[in-house]
């Protein structure tokens, strides 16, 4: 059974480099292929493409550069067949997209072609950071996955990435609404009296005004589905790191990210990377491979679920206001880390 159209394109981000986004994307793709899904992997790390190396492809015959420079007419022409049955690969173009400084419409055109590729699932491996290119690719995708580890710096970067993505989405959705944009810009500054400290504060600033605007805002929040993957897990405490992101996102962003799964620390992964052998090929019994298969099965189930229902009238009312000061953010993180 193929994925529903609304869940075909999945972006994998995380903000911080080195958390294992590419290894996870490749491993997830291989496991999905073993579940009889046709998968296309896209290396969208446009400043440091390396997905082809992990796949064992030393010299890609085609890359995204051929598409951006119009050497080919469509993305489908730059798909590379791989040694893994059921997986095609589109290799990244080292910083060519950044140099071209594409407009939002150009990026949407690229993503539209991605959605129309001949595959059940298209996995987009994003670069590090929170540039507009990265955020727009992440936000456009109906499926969003954020990879993190239990290290405090990774937690901080993961939260910062999610916040930046959400605020970018709000700015795009309300690009012609000067009042909303003014509140968003204020909330991104250092908080002071009278400035919204959280998304919940934004809602309270808006609830006394246009009802349609408030409804649109709430629908945006409801549709911003997000899944978390914890990488490099060594202990049960590491697995619980996702709950920290869940709680701070609920308190400050009014989001409810869900856990897709976790990836155990496994020497077999490093060995495969060093040997340029796609993981988890021939490693099905390793702990990390078993984790990837569980997440692939979970993703297939998510893709076949019905889309979320539209907001009812009762759901367009704001909850009671709570203290959402940004000054509480990392004290909350530290408290939660001590509690797990």
Tokens 């390396």 correspond to 50
Statement: residue 289 has pLDDT above 70: yes
pLDDT at 338: 54
Cα→Cα distances 331→119, 120, 257, Å: 44, 43, 20
Task: Tell me whether the omega of the peptide bond preceding residue 280 falls within 30 degrees of 0, making it cis.
Answer: yes
pLDDT at 123: 96
**For residue range 146-181, what is the model confidence (pLDDT) as tens digits?**
999 999 999 999 999 999 999 999 988 888 887 777
- How many residues can be counted in the chain? 340
Statement: residue 317 has pLDDT above 70: no
- By DSSP bridging, strand 143-148 and strand 87-90 are unpaired
**Higher pLDDT pick, 107 / 157:** 157
**Higher pLDDT pick, 286 / 339:** 286
- Number of C-beta neighbours around residue 191 at 10 A: 17
CB 222 within 8 A of CB 311: yes
Confidence band for 104, pLDDT divided at 50, 70 and 90 = low
The β-bridge partners of 145 are 12, 227
pLDDT at 148: 95
Q: What is the mean pLDDT of residues 310-336?
A: 47
Confidence band for 267, pLDDT divided at 50, 70 and 90 = very high
Tokens of 40: 């296309």
- Residues 34 and 86: their CA atoms lie apart, in Å, by 8
What kind and span of H or E run contains 69? none
Q: For all residues of the chain together, what is the average pLDDT? A: 81
Nearest one of 39, 134, 122, 123 to 95, comparing CA atoms: 134
For CA atoms 127, 117, 119, 51, give the dihedral sign. Answer: negative
Tokens of 111: 């993503």
Confidence band for 139, pLDDT divided at 50, 70 and 90 = very high
Cα→Cα distances 148→105, 153, 230, 245, 279, Å: 30, 10, 5, 10, 19
- Residues 219 and 222: their CA atoms lie apart, in Å, by 5
Nearest one of 334, 258, 324, 303 to 5, comparing CA atoms: 303
**For residue range 22-72, what is the model confidence (pLDDT) as tens digits?**
999 999 999 999 999 999 999 987 666 778 888 888 888 888 888 877 888
- Residues 169 and 171: their CA atoms lie apart, in Å, by 5
Considering the domain 5-162+225-339 in this protein, what is its CATH number?
3.40.50.300
pLDDT at 13: 94
pLDDT at 47: 66
Q: Taking the domains of the chain in order of start, what are their residue ranges?
A: 5-162+225-339
CB 138 within 8 A of CB 5: no
């Amino acid at each position: 059974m193929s994925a529903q159209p609304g869940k075909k394109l999945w972006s994998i981000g995380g903000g911080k480099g080195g958390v294992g986004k590419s290894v996870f994307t490749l491993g997830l793709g291989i496991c999905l292929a073993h579940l009889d899904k046709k998968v296309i992997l896209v290396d969208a790390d446009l400043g440091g493409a390396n997905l082809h190396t992990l796949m064992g492809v030393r010299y890609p015959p085609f890359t995204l550069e051929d598409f951006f420079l119009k050497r080919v007419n469509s993305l489908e022409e730059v798909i590379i067949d791989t040694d893994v049955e059921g997986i095609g690969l589109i290799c990244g173009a080292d910083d060519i997209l950044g140099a071209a400084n594409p407009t939002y419409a150009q990026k949407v055109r690229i993503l539209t072609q991605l959605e129309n590729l001949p595959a059940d699932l298209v996995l987009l491996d994003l670069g590090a950071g929170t540039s507009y290119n990265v955020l727009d690719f992440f936000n456009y995708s109906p499926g969003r996955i954020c990879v993190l580890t239990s290290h405090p710096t990774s937690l901080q970067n993961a939260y910062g990435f999610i916040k930046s993505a959400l605020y970018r989405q709000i700015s795009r959705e309300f690009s012609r609404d000067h009042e909303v944009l003014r509140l968003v810009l204020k909330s991104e500054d250092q908080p002071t009296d009278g400035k919204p400290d959280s998304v919940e504060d934004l809602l309270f600033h808006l609830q006394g005004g246009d009802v349609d605007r408030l409804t649109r805002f709430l629908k945006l929040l409801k549709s911003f589905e997000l899944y978390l993957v914890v990488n490099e897990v060594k202990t049960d405490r590491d697995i619980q790191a996702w709950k920290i992101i869940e709680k701070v996102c609920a308190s400050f962003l009014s989001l409810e990210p869900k856990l897709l799964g976790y990836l155990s620390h496994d020497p077999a992964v490093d060995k495969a990377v060093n040997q340029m052998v796609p993981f988890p090929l021939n490693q099905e019994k390793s702990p990390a491979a078993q984790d990837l298969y569980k997440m692939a099965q979970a993703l297939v189930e998510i893709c076949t679920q019905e889309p979320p229902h539209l907001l009812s009238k009762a759901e367009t009312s704001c909850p009671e206001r709570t203290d959402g000061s940004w000054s509480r953010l990392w004290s909350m993180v530290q408290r939660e880390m001590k509690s797990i």
